[in-house]
Chains A and B, each alone.
Chain A
């Protein structure tokens, strides 16, 4: 082949390399879905908030992340698998754990998440959450007025938020919650109910703790 015969194929090759080079320079090959974040890398705690909704989210997301790290999967895979029995079974097989162990890991993760948030000062005192608690407990009118007239220090002593959330998590039956036919729509009422029950139980326990032991036994302490 003379040089002339190589010219056109050579020019074609140069044009192809130029286009490919330009594409790779602008991120060609990296235009793929975002990879799941490593669940074992600790994320910064969110801002201080008095919004119970945000606190709940932080607890759940942190808990799922801890559980995913413990189970050797991503938090996204774990969250996608949790609502569906078939996906849970597949995840159990993939991680080499039983479904009960997976749910136990989620619960342990949420408790660890509460501890972390509490230590980081991200769980607001109950006095800052009076309206939210009142809403969960169904208080209104005079009852709400009465609660609001209680000094903040007393509210914080009677309703330590971290303890209430911990108690709510411990009281949650995750297996039952996840098997609810209504799926995610049923979770929010169940979580609210768990927090309400935990708040009532915590108040009761704190009051009983404050009473002399003779009276405490009368009220069932």
Chain B
């Protein structure tokens, strides 16, 4: 029961970035542009962020949470199937909007359902936060592998049976006797539905989550686009490469245990790691995937140190739980949207700005290439056509060489020229993403400010406030 509910949470949060690796294929199949296709990600995160708090209000009682959860799972599964069957970008984005509404219901209901299923408020909340972190980190890798093995549609088809598995578990929890905590909360009248006042969300922790989520989007979205579109690497290679982030995120648990640090120290350290990793991605020494491993390791460690502990801190002693969970989901996903809205135009303009230096570099190399004038002139014309046809993407120069008649004696020089030109394109693409990575790094470093405002408690110390002692309406940073 706990597993299938955790799986549903993981899938809903994985969907926030699961299509990242499929975007280049969607871009080509649905004949879209980079700025348009980014809405497949943006729409989901925007609606999930906006719907999380209203959806949470549907799970404020023990009786309502299973119903809201089941409704959400059905909507999410149906919308996932619609995403897989979408024949146009507009249809796909529309289905993603519905999917996010279902996802908001699932994610907020599952917080309560996991507490009920585990029988322990902290264990349930921790399970919920961990499932979310793992889902968000593993999502792009799973999406990339499915895209490469089958198609981008497979990402959505696969989700349908997996989320439907959680329906019996959610439904069964209707029969559970009421949790003593629920009773305690009801006794202190903290339920807005019962006329009580809900605790205010922890602003500092949620703000830090929003800023870090914005930055983490860059780590996944921009890095994947750079590798597939800029460096022309396959989704499989890219998926394998970006597994560094989830692996490092898992290893961060060991680091956290060894350090025995407080939530504030972990949040500050994590922000430094994510910011530093993103800045390192802005200064890559080459276009080999290996160069991204160390920056990704920093980002993964930062992800593991921050998101789970900040989420747990935001939920600690805050009631009603579902509503507090809704605020953390809203913060994270609206943060992702802000990140996408800030970063997409930056890297799109970076691609445009990189065009002139790339053309100049290509022209210089073609001029000096040891090839006959006639070959160079034809090749220059073909290269010009490829560069003009890029439509905001990094061009593929191979067709230009295929269309140019090259004498057998000149083929070796032509091959060497093709390698040199590809190197220039990789350099231009890497440079095009530089400003976006730097801005994303700054967003992560900005999260240090709210992180410093967090009450400095050891995240593993026993809770100093029993649920029944929680003061309704308490404001804590």
Contacts and interface: CB of A to CB of B under 8 A. Distances in A.
A98 interface: no
Contacts of B397: none
- Tell me whether chain A's interface is mostly helix, strand or loop, or mixed: helix
Most chain A CB atoms below 10 A, which of B298, B359, B364 = B364
Interface of B: 259-262, 264-266, 268-270, 272-273, 275-277, 279-280, 283-287, 291, 294-295, 298, 301-302, 305, 354, 357-361, 363-365, 367-368, 372-374, 376-378, 380-381, 384, 424, 427-428, 430-431, 456
A60 B266 CA distance: 63
Contacts of A48: none
A53 B373 CA distance: 7
A151 B460 CA distance: 100
A184 B287 CA distance: 33
Contacts of A75: 364, 367
A29 B363 contact: no
A168 to B, nearest CB: 14
A63 B29 CA distance: 46
Nearest to B371: A57
Given A5-B265, A16-B275, A16-B276, 8 more contacts: A1-B456, A4-B260, A16-B280, A24-B283, A32-B431, A56-B373, A61-B368, A79-B367
A187 B266 CA distance: 66
A183 B381 contact: yes
- Tell me whether chain B's interface is mostly helix, strand or loop, or mixed: helix
21 contacts: A8-B265, A8-B269, A8-B305, A12-B269, A12-B270, A13-B276, A16-B277, A16-B298, A19-B277, A19-B295, A23-B295, A33-B354, A33-B431, A34-B361, A53-B372, A76-B360, A79-B363, A83-B384, A184-B377, A185-B377, A188-B373
A37 interface: yes
Interface of A: 1, 4-9, 11-13, 15-17, 19-20, 22-24, 26-37, 53, 56-57, 60-61, 64, 74-77, 79-80, 83, 183-185, 187-188
Contact of B266 (A1, A8, A34, A183): A8
Contacts, number: 147
B114 to A, nearest CB: 28
A74 B360 contact: yes
Given A5-B262, A16-B272, A184-B381, A31 B363 contact: no
Given A5-B261, A33-B360, A188 B272 contact: no
B273 A31 contact: no
Contacts of B358: 33
A185 B378 contact: yes
B223 to A, nearest CB: 15
Contacts of A9: 265, 268-269, 272
A151 B367 CA distance: 37
Contacts of B384: 83
Contacts of B376: 57
Nearest to A189: B374
Most chain A CB atoms below 10 A, which of B365, B372, B378, B428 = B372
Contact of B286 (A16, A19, A31, A77): A31
Contact of B360 (A15, A30, A80): A80
Nearest to A184: B377
Contacts of A22: 294
A34 B424 contact: yes
Nearest to B381: A184
A19 B294 CA distance: 7
A188 B277 contact: no
B262 A57 contact: no
A57 to B, nearest CB: 5
Contacts of B365: 34
